[in-house]
Amino acid sequence: MQQHWKGIGSYATVGLELALSVLFGLAVGHWLDKKFGGGGWITFIGFAFGLAAGARAVYRALVRANQEAEEAERQDQEAQRKYHEDRE
């Protein structure tokens, strides 16, 4: 049971990481826009960079989840194969 909670905890942070990446990019872009007078363009660029960083975090989490699912499936197949060999 503890293993399930550990897995849930590692993926629960993905949404938070996405939101914080976007907010951080937006805040830095806004600050630079005020400092250099970019007319809103630097804010937009900061937002885009934050969104890209958040999307990258989501992508990495999906890849990790797929790898874990494939490993679990491989272990299940191995256990089934061993079970059937032992019964013969």
Question: What amino acid is encoded at 54 in this protein?
Answer: G
Q: Which of 59, 53, 57, 50 is nearest to 22 (CA)?
A: 50
On the question of pLDDT at 24 being above 90, the answer is yes
Q: Are 51 and 21 in contact (CB under 8 A)?
A: yes
pLDDT at 6: 66
pLDDT at 27: 97
pLDDT in tens, 30-79: 999 999 988 899 999 999 999 999 999 999 989 988 998 899 899 988 98
Q: Are 46 and 32 in contact (CB under 8 A)?
A: yes
pLDDT at 4: 67
Instruction: List the structure tokens of 41.
Output: 């363009």
Who wins on pLDDT, 10 or 26? 26
